Amino acid sequence: MAARIDETPEWRALAAHAAAVKALHLRDLFAADAERGTRLTLEVDGLYVDYSKNLVTDETLALLFALAERAGVTERRDAMFAGEPINVTEDRAVLHVALRAPATERIEVDGIDVVPEVHRVLAQMADFADRVREGMWTGHTGKRVRNIVNVGIGGSDLGPAMAYEALRHFSQRDLTLRFVSNVDAADFWEAVHGLDPAETLFVVCSKTFSTLETLTNAKSARDWLLTGLGGDESAVAKHFVAVSTNTERVQEFGIDPANMFEFWDWVGGRYSFESAIGLSLMIAIGAEQFSEMLGGFHAVDEHFRNEMPERNVPLVLGLLDVWYSSFLGAQSQAILPYSHSLARFPAYLQQLEMESNGKSVTLDGEPVSWDTGAVVWGQPGTNGQHAYYQLIHQGTRLVPCDFIGFAQAAHAGGDHQDLLMANFVAQTEALAFGKTGAEVAAEGVPTSQVPHRTFAGNRPTTSILAERLTPRTLGQLVALYEHRVFTQGAIWQINSFDQWGVELGKALAKRIVLDLQSPALKSGATPALEHDSSTNALISKYRELRDLR
């Protein structure tokens, strides 16, 4: 059993050092080192990362690298790339990196090279996507399919939905793409609103093909389709495809396995959108641009795998995350894309980070005594500036922020991009350096108002800047965060690849559905409910209100 990380000299040194850093201010750190803003920067495949406005000194960084070494981050990384079953609670390899490996690479799981399989499915996806894009995939009535509705939830929705928004500019505009995830019928009915069933294809994405929300929505989709097309069951074959690891269940649902795109249990749901789970995205942007996106992922994979720790971007950023969560007491992390196209990126990262590292026992099953994954939140700047930035600037909480921006807009013209990016840069400057009471007073502000208009500064930010948001850049960004999450998990000695925390609610919901739908409840009788008093009362109240209809 490895030593508990908090009992190592490296951890203790950081804990002691944290007290000293809390007394420092970014103003002084920048004043003392004219090079800081260029020195504490990194680059990976054209992504420029400035981490100089973080609450760190050279000593902090050295201590964090020592911690990474002690925790065996690079050994664990190598075990991941080697296909070892590092997801111990599910006894699985963790090989999303194989999804973007070139065909020439060899990556084995249990002695079998998985790369040829990955490329076989990519070719199957490309063939299908081409047929839809070129109008060759016709529906039951012979009409061309032009609407694609992705049905899935969590990792089977957030990735493709986020990436489609991000890359809409690169998509084929005569196709309509929509996404349904929530079991709330409003989601489904809004998604199909105005669509012609004869022109609509459902891509049902579910790793397990047993997820309540997805199966319920897929069933409603089938009913909607058959109602619209006169009830002929054979229509399903032309209007439904499935993406799953579970052929049997796909078949049980009524989708022909010939219309199934496979992936594998060594791909975690939240790490899956560049697998066949990205089929709807590939239909939108085409196989070539999808492949460019995979190239971006792969470039960052190679960087993470080979670059020395001090220049390794995901490693450095992952260590900073650990620093804030475990040593400086930060509870959350804001993701602030200065790109409207990345509007769904924070939601995507919520699953990636919080489902991965929202854990409180170590790999050995022992309770952790350090803080692990932060609450991830955010939305695009500049909208956030007019909503919650007040708290980031002047509130009492420490909120490390990631600013993500691009030098060139997808839509050129006007002053939009310069105004957007002026805000990006200004915010990071204001957060770091603030405005002192003396500066405020010197502007003639009445004394009583000075405290209210003073900005303490010293609020940490990381800036990520790229030339332009392209499929390749998106791949780079996602891989960067994936490996950053990996680094955090390796330090915290937790399993970043299981998600047992979602199971209890699912199991209880199944039981409560029976309570809600039991004939005794429907007839208005009062059956014995066997939950706690609050849950019993909620069920009874719900039933009473529902039955008023």
* Residue 506 annotated as catalytic: yes
Contact, 41 vs 49, CB < 8 A?
yes
The span of 201-209, 327-335, 444-452, 482-490 binding ligand F6P (CB under 6 A) equals 201-209
Chain positions 442 to 481 lying near ligand F6P, rule: CB under 6 A, are none
Query: Residue 99: phi, psi to the nearest 5?
Result: -70, -20
What are the DSSP calls for 207-243, one per residue? SSS--HHHHHHHHHHHHHHHHHTTT-GGGHHHHEEEE
The answer to whether 499 contacts ligand F6P (rule: CB under 6 A) is yes
Chain positions 263 to 302 lying near ligand F6P, rule: CB under 6 A, are 269-270
The answer to whether 207 contacts ligand F6P (rule: CB under 6 A) is yes
The answer to whether 54 contacts ligand F6P (rule: CB under 6 A) is no
> Is 64 exposed, middle or buried, given 0-12, 13-18 or 19+ CB atoms closer than 10 A?
buried
Rank residues 309 and 358 by Cβ distance to ligand F6P and give the closer one: 358
Q: What is the CA radius of gyration of the chain?
A: 25
Residue 127 C-beta: closest distance to ligand F6P, Å: 23
Query: Residue 382: phi, psi to the nearest 5?
Result: -95, 0
Contact, 468 vs 421, CB < 8 A?
no
The span of 58-66, 153-161, 294-302, 366-374 binding ligand F6P (CB under 6 A) equals 153-161
Rank residues 272 and 487 by Cβ distance to ligand F6P and give the closer one: 272
The span of 19-27, 189-197, 202-210, 490-498 binding ligand F6P (CB under 6 A) equals 202-210
The answer to whether 156 contacts ligand F6P (rule: CB under 6 A) is yes
Verify cis geometry, omega within 30 degrees of 0, for the bond prior to 447: no
The answer to whether 247 contacts ligand F6P (rule: CB under 6 A) is no
* Residue 96 annotated as catalytic: no
The answer to whether 57 contacts ligand F6P (rule: CB under 6 A) is no
Q: Other CB atoms closer than 10 Å to residue 465's CB: what's the count?
A: 19
Tell me how far apart the alpha carbons of residues 418 and 413 are, in angstroms, rounded to a whole number: 10
Quote the tokens at residue 319.
Answer: 């260590």
**Catalytic choice (10, 213, 355, 482):** 355
The span of 76-84, 137-145, 203-211, 376-384 binding ligand F6P (CB under 6 A) equals 203-211
**Catalytic choice (22, 119, 411, 506):** 506
The answer to whether 211 contacts ligand F6P (rule: CB under 6 A) is yes
| 9 membership: H or E segment, kind and range | helix 9-22
What are the DSSP calls for 162-223, one per residue? HHHHHHGGGS-TTSEEEEE--SSHHHHHHHHTT--GGGEEEEEE-SSS--HHHHHHHHHHHH
Residue 91 C-beta: closest distance to ligand F6P, Å: 17
Rank residues 456 and 502 by Cβ distance to ligand F6P and give the closer one: 502
Residue 211 C-beta: closest distance to ligand F6P, Å: 3
Residues engaged in binding ligand F6P (CB under 6 A): 153-156, 206-208, 211, 214, 269-270, 355, 499, 502
The residues annotated with a catalytic role in the active site are: 355, 386, 506
